[in-house]
Structure 1
Amino acid sequence: MAPPANKRSGYSRRAQLSSFLSHTAGIVGVVIGLVLIVISSVDPSSFASLRSIAADATEPAAEVTSEGRNFGHSVVNGVTGFFKMGSRHAQLEKELAIAKSRLVEADATAAENKRLKGLLGLLRSRDDIVAAASMTSSTPSSTRRFATIGAGAGKGIQKGMPVRSATGLIGRVLEVGQNSSRVLLITDTESLVPVRRAKDGVAGFAQGQGDGTLRVRLVNLGINPLRKGDVIVSSGAGGLYRPGTPMAVLTQILRDGAIARVISNPTDADFVIVENVWAPPPPPPPPAKAEKP
């Protein structure tokens, strides 16, 4: 005969005990809940203490859970970053290249503005300037040193006029066209400029060597007073070049002079100014002699 489908727990002491314990636990839980509700209503401070005790008891388990959650996030972020690192690195390299290019452009613009401001200051402070022009070409590597400027007879330029940049003397006009002029640079071997040391007026002549430097020879031979780093300017002797125009810095001392590096490099001069030929002022007339009585 088959056993009945609705067999009661009374037939098994284990089943009866399990049923009793489950009912007892439910009743105990309800009673504890009611007690906690009553305590929270009657004495909230005591309930807060109980809540703190419960939080302290569950804190270790909460810390373990939090660490596991953080570790999981770290793993996920690491895996995601690994796959995104390549594209992000390429993007950063591109942005860095663009930033470097813009920085170079900004430096070039600042340098050009500085040169233009220097020329503008000369144009405003001088009344002997004929014209301002662009330097269209130069011959930095040839045995002869010439340059071409974008101004000619149409702007009043004549043969022999000095040409300079904002930083110093470049040369003199050799040939004149209607809209352009050819300039003999001071570094050419055919160029000879009377000079003096800026700080004390030691006189000499500066001749181009055809390699971008000048050979400075002293007028008075003897003990060479020149020193490395001395600045050489035009002296104005004999006319043509205005006195005091910066020209070169001494780099090597010789027995009768020195080798100098030009201050104004034609390859770096975008714009130049053309000056009138300078003539030294006439000497004062001798004092009149008193007539004898």
Structure 2
Amino acid sequence: MAPPSKRRPGFSRRAQYGLFLSYVVAAGGVILALLLLIVAVIDPRGFNGLKGLALDLTAPVSSAGRGAVRGIGDGIDSVNAYFFAASQNEALRSELAQRRRAAIEAQALRQENRRLKALLGISQRAETAVATGRVVGSTFDSARRLATIDVGGSDGVVIGQPVRSVDGLVGRVVETGRSAARVLLVTDGGNSVPIVLARDGTPAFATGRGDGTIELRTLEVGQSPFRRGDVVFTSGVGGIYPPGIPVARVLKVTRDLTIAQPLADPGKLDFAIVLPAYMPQANAPIAPTAPTAPPPAPAPPRP
């Protein structure tokens, strides 16, 4: 094996000075480390002061370096956001649409729960309710105003029973099947309901006009007692409809005509309650008559 070369690193003074300075720096570093070690062992408090001084001297440099790194990172994020803005906007739109659909579904559930609770309260108050069903269809353009509910003969529904909702009177049953029934709405021209004015108890009749509204007529000829905004209820006269069910609200009053809007809008009905036909009782029971004495026996003939 050839012996290592002992030649100097060239004839360049710069190279020689550089090598000499590297040796001096290395030796100085070793000496400084030894001095720091000795200070740390002999005077720990003074060594902590030196560390604090070093920290104070290096903190601005660290802060500047951190700012530079953060600036570079922000620049990279801005570039990424610029190039990926379309995909991010699409994701945000999709998330917004999902949240909007969820909010609409939650609102619909709250509305349905509110109606179901109201129906439950009516069912609890009306212990003789026959059945509660969902409205599955109704006519709007036909000359006859009818609705279909998903309860029928198997649930105890028969022809002639009144039907109401949370808002008010719907109509009466005119056809029944085993699992469905058809209801003649109060807006039909063939449906006439005895009513009373809630404000003063004036008796009247509510007759459907076939166009989604109701015409109100009093029993006496004269000035109309109705006012815009008045509410009418069933009176119970004549049977079928129990008294006290809201029917309609007055929309328009003229000299010869009073038009009202039914409170139970067929287009917005979800559920309906079938009630038994109302049978009004007599105002006073008939007093029983006293039994009559038997006629006296005929006298025997004289001889």
TM-score normalised to the size of structure 2?
Answer: 0.75
Question: Counterparts of 2:252 and 2:77 in 1: how far apart (Å)?
Answer: 64
Q: What's the counterpart of residue 75 of structure 1?
A: 75
Secondary structure of the residue aligned to 1:264 is coil
Q: What's the counterpart of residue 45 of structure 2?
A: 45
Q: Give the counterpart letter for 2:229 in structure 1.
A: G
Question: Counterparts of 2:128 and 2:14 in 1: how far apart (Å)?
Answer: 123
User: Alpha-carbon deviation of 1:109?
Assistant: 3.8
1:171-227 deviation digits (Å, cap 9, x = unpaired): 123345565543321111222212123344233222222221222234456665544
Report the identity percentage. 38
Secondary structure of the residue aligned to 1:207 is strand
Question: Counterparts of 2:60 and 2:261 in 1: how far apart (Å)?
Answer: 79
Secondary structure of the residue aligned to 1:129 is coil
Matches within 5 A, 1:236-275: 236-255=236-255, 258-275=258-275
Question: Counterparts of 1:14 and 1:183 in 2: how far apart (Å)?
Answer: 112
Q: What's the counterpart of residue 65 of structure 2?
A: 65
Which stretch has the larger CA shift, 147-156 or 192-201? 147-156
Secondary structure of the residue aligned to 1:238 is coil
1:218–1:256 CA contact under 8 A, matched in 2: no
Matches within 5 A, 1:184-203: 184-203=184-203
Is 2:171 the partner of 1:171?
yes
Q: Give the counterpart letter for 1:205 in structure 2.
A: F
Matches within 5 A, 1:149-160: 149-152=149-152, 156-160=156-160
Secondary structure of the residue aligned to 2:90 is helix
Flag the 1:35–1:150 CA change in 2: closer, same or farther, 3 A: closer
Matches within 5 A, 1:208-287: 208-219=208-219, 226-255=226-255, 258-284=258-284
Question: Counterparts of 2:48 and 2:236 in 1: how far apart (Å)?
Answer: 100
User: Alpha-carbon deviation of 1:244?
Assistant: 0.4
2:9–2:16 CA contact under 8 A, matched in 1: no
Is 2:17 the partner of 1:55?
no
1:206-253 deviation digits (Å, cap 9, x = unpaired): 222222122223445666554443322111223221110111223334
Q: Give the counterpart letter for 2:232 in structure 1.
A: I
Flag the 1:188–1:76 CA change in 2: closer, same or farther, 3 A: same
Flag the 1:267–1:80 CA change in 2: closer, same or farther, 3 A: same
Q: What's the counterpart of residue 291 of structure 1?
A: none
Secondary structure of the residue aligned to 1:91 is helix
Which stretch has the larger CA shift, 105-114 or 66-75? 105-114
